[in-house]
Amino acid sequence: MKRILVSTLTLLAFLFLGYSCAEEEVETPDDLVFHSLVAEKDTIAPGESTTIKASATGSSLEFFWDATLGDIIGSGSEITYVASPCAVGTNEISCKVTNGNQWETKSIEITVYE
């Protein structure tokens, strides 16, 4: 009985170590640098659009976009922001970039005038 218990614990220890090693192998380096977030135009009329580009370097980057009002068309490092008359005013567009390990956020303001 004691031998079975020792064998089981040894096997679990190996499995745990193996899992931990596997985890270490996929660790992402701390190499994220979010350089800039730039809009083609910072003022648009309802119905118009502007391109917004996020410039970042790092491994396996993902870009997350959010606008207080107005619509984001597309995804990735470059999107198009369009605004309906519902979005008149100054709206903040945020981009969060992550490499899975680190993340950084930048925001810009686009004014939609009547």
By CB under 8 A, name the binding residues for other proteins. 46-47, 49, 62-75, 79-80, 82, 84-89, 114
Shortest distance in whole angstroms from residue 44 CB to other proteins: 12
Select 38 or 88, whichever has its Cβ closest to other proteins: 88
Token pair for residue 17?
Answer: 């170590």
Shortest distance in whole angstroms from residue 104 CB to other proteins: 15
Select 55 or 63, whichever has its Cβ closest to other proteins: 63
Token pair for residue 111?
Answer: 């004014």
Token pair for residue 69?
Answer: 């009002």
Shortest distance in whole angstroms from residue 33 CB to other proteins: 19
Q: 37: closest CA among 52, 57, 26, 22?
A: 52
Strand (E) or helix (H) holding 36: strand 33-39
